[in-house]
Chains A and B, each alone.
Chain A
Amino acid sequence: MVAGGIPVPMGRVARSVDEAVAAVRPLIGESGNPVVVLKAQIHAGGRGKGTFKEHPDVRGVNVITDGIDGGPGAAEEAVRELAKRMLGSTLVTIQTGEEGKRVNRLYVEQGIDIATELYLAVLLDRSASRNIVMASTEGGVEIEKVASETPEKILRSVVDPAIGLAGFQANELAHGLGLEGDVAKNFMRFVKALADTATELDTDLVEINPLVVTADGQVIALDAKFAFDDNALYRHPDIADMRDETEEDSAEVAAKNQGLNYIKLDGTIGCLVNGAGLAMATMDTIKHVGGEPANFLDVGGGATADQVTTGFQIITDDPNVKGIFVNIFGGIMRCDVVASGIVEAISRVGLEVPLVVRLEGTNVERGRQILEESGLEVTNAVSLRDGAEKILELTR
């Protein structure tokens, strides 16, 4: 954001309690504000209201005012006590789910004298096939709530990719938010820079909530959430490096590194499918016939036998899996490649649960032949529903 010319509060990342404490004095010196804010750095929103599993009285964002009366030393001590409890603990917010996320990094930030809190975001509008800027006077609260209760308080402006956000659009937004004078000018500069940054960094979403107007008229991003387009990460290696894989499911990370789309679910029937739509539909069908899918796994359009092997291993590693349903309708994906991958996986890791395979599409005959000649115990299915019913029967 700094590189994009977007004003943010001064602050420092801390990976240890000592680093957090060391950040306090210089921040107070530079900002001239005795207040500091200690934030948990995780990849999820709702931190301000989130609490720690281990310390239910500590929130994900803490404003430390001890410095006002006690000086920097008091602020340091308060930061030390909080940082000890936050680092290594599990923060649960509305966006992390019940399991929460482990906090490995903190952010120590200058205090800010807030006059107004606004909401600002840049996101894809699928119907327009363009990014839109969304702004609201209702900053600091969840935008979903604003959208359902007071939709008239959300302003929208479509960004032309050839132009960026035009000056008049920024002006309209500033006017709509009731901003005037220098504050309006600062906001216009801010929102144009944000729209450009969103495009340059290939974001799916940038959300500034709250965007604050300070007592002296500055417009500053107090909190920001970025979601990046996975497909564009190849041109942003610095952003790709920020990924913290310890915050993600290890099987999902392993799958991703192999170019597979895997999402773990709670059921007992593992599925390996080609194509996202068919993978979803396979889960839907398993559920429809009375089973519960253990995962979503799309091996993609052009998977190699190796990728299929990895996918198969990921499924068999899940202790909840009582049976596996392979559902392939080959287009780009060739049935013989899938069959070879399955045979290879089983020869490497064995197979202790029933396996139902449904093959259709490109090179289907060769695929069926490979499975048959392997001598493996495979139940063949003739359709998706037939396969789902058979695997359910075998796992009962």
Chain B
Amino acid sequence: MSILVDKNTKVLVQGLGKTGQFHTDKAIAYGTRMVGAVHPSRAGTGFHFEGETDHSGVAGREDTYSTDLPIYATVSEAVAETGATATVVYVPPPFAADAIMEATAAGIALVVVITEGIPIADMIRTKRYLQGSGTRLVGPNCPGVITPGECKIGIMPGYIHQRGKIGVVSRSGTLTYEAVHQVTQLRLGQTTAVGIGGDPVNGTDFVDVLKMFQADDETEGVVMIGEIGGTAEEEAAEYVKSEMTKPVAGFIAGSTAPPGKRMGHAGAIVSGGKGTALAKIEAMSAAGIVVAETPSDMGEAMVRALG
């Protein structure tokens, strides 16, 4: 199995600007079941995508694709027409919160938000809106979710992934790729890789994803990548210690970050002595997580954790 998404997941896209178009094209090339786009002013038309698939040359699979992705005026209409259960949001920051709420109201099970720079107050309200709904939000400011060979939702480069037995969860986009790449090179492969995003208020946290990996038959170990700021890694370490039976390897970015400075991600700031890399590494080590010394050792750390 995998978590969150698989080959049957039907996916919508909200936001068809340059970035949305580029990555929708990549998702289709990867084999993701993209079933529609939502764009009020272009409703009723289609958006054409064509090219060579990522699995070109593989026996039994298409070498090329040419498709007109239907465009709908609203998410609820798109859901009714297509049966989509997931959506990916590339909508610009001022309108992103509204896009998430629209998807939630339409009953979408999984909303993956790539958009970076959404105001925190908008996310606070949006999370309040999500309460009691059946919708899971991943992100914002994240690379997305991928189950290798089946479904790619987001902006991660598909080719570095390989189907396998390791779950990957991370606050940082590019460090997720780093971990995935190493896990692939070590021939362990991934069940699913989940970017939870670098913002201080996000939909899904480490513990949510760790629980899913713990319950997933196919996942044999987990790589967890955190960074300075907040206490999400400490809470994850608590969970690993008390509930998890599968081996976990980890890495924390930001050991050398000066305190008080926001390191790119809105969530990555050491303030009042809280949220330091050292405190997180200590909590993780104490929970039995094998913590890599540098990001180049994340794959090796996973191998050691697997024993």
Contacts and interface: CB of A to CB of B under 8 A. Distances in A.
B98 to A, nearest CB: 14
A164 to B, nearest CB: 12
B19 A332 contact: yes
B125 A202 contact: no
A77 interface: no
Interface residues of A, number: 55
A234 interface: yes
Given A127-B235, A229-B120, A277-B170, A261 B264 contact: yes
Contacts of B254: 280-281, 284
Nearest to A230: B266
Nearest to A389: B296
B101 interface: no
Interface string B207-246: 0000000000000000001011011100100000000000
Given A231-B118, A285-B294, A301-B116, A278 B124 contact: no
Contact of B258 (A162, A263, A287): A263
A280 B263 contact: yes
A204 interface: yes
Nearest to A232: B119
A385 B273 CA distance: 29
Interface in A107-139: 124, 126-127, 129-131
Where chain A touches its partner, the secondary structure class is mixed
A281 B251 contact: yes
Given A126-B201, A234-B94, A385 B296 contact: yes
A287 B255 contact: yes
A276 B265 CA distance: 6
Interface string A135-172: 00000000010010000000000001110000000000
B155 interface: yes
Contact of B178 (A95, A265, A278): A278
Contact of A331 (B127, B157, B200): B157
- The residue among A230, A234, A276, A288 with the most chain B CB atoms within 10 A of its own CB is A276
B81 interface: no
A284 B295 contact: yes
A329 B257 CA distance: 20
Given A161-B125, A280-B254, A280-B263, A285 B177 contact: no
Contacts of A199: 121
Given A296-B264, A385-B294, A284 B225 contact: no
A231 B253 CA distance: 23
A53 to B, nearest CB: 20
A31 interface: no
A360 interface: yes
Contacts of A210: none
A383 interface: yes
A229 B200 CA distance: 11
Contact of A144 (B171, B256, B272): B272
A290 to B, nearest CB: 12
B264 A384 contact: no
A288 B277 CA distance: 14
B268 A276 contact: yes
Interface of A: 95, 124, 126-127, 129-131, 144, 147, 160-162, 199, 202, 204, 229-232, 234-235, 261, 263, 265, 273-281, 283-285, 287-288, 293, 296, 298, 300-302, 329-332, 360-362, 383-386
7 contacts: A95-B260, A234-B94, A274-B174, A285-B295, A288-B294, A361-B177, A386-B296
Given A275-B172, A331-B174, 7 more contacts: A124-B120, A229-B266, A234-B94, A283-B257, A293-B256, A331-B173, A362-B157
Shortest 9 CB-CB distances between A and B: which pairs?
A277-B172, A276-B264, A275-B174, A385-B296, A278-B174, A232-B119, A298-B264, A280-B253, A261-B264
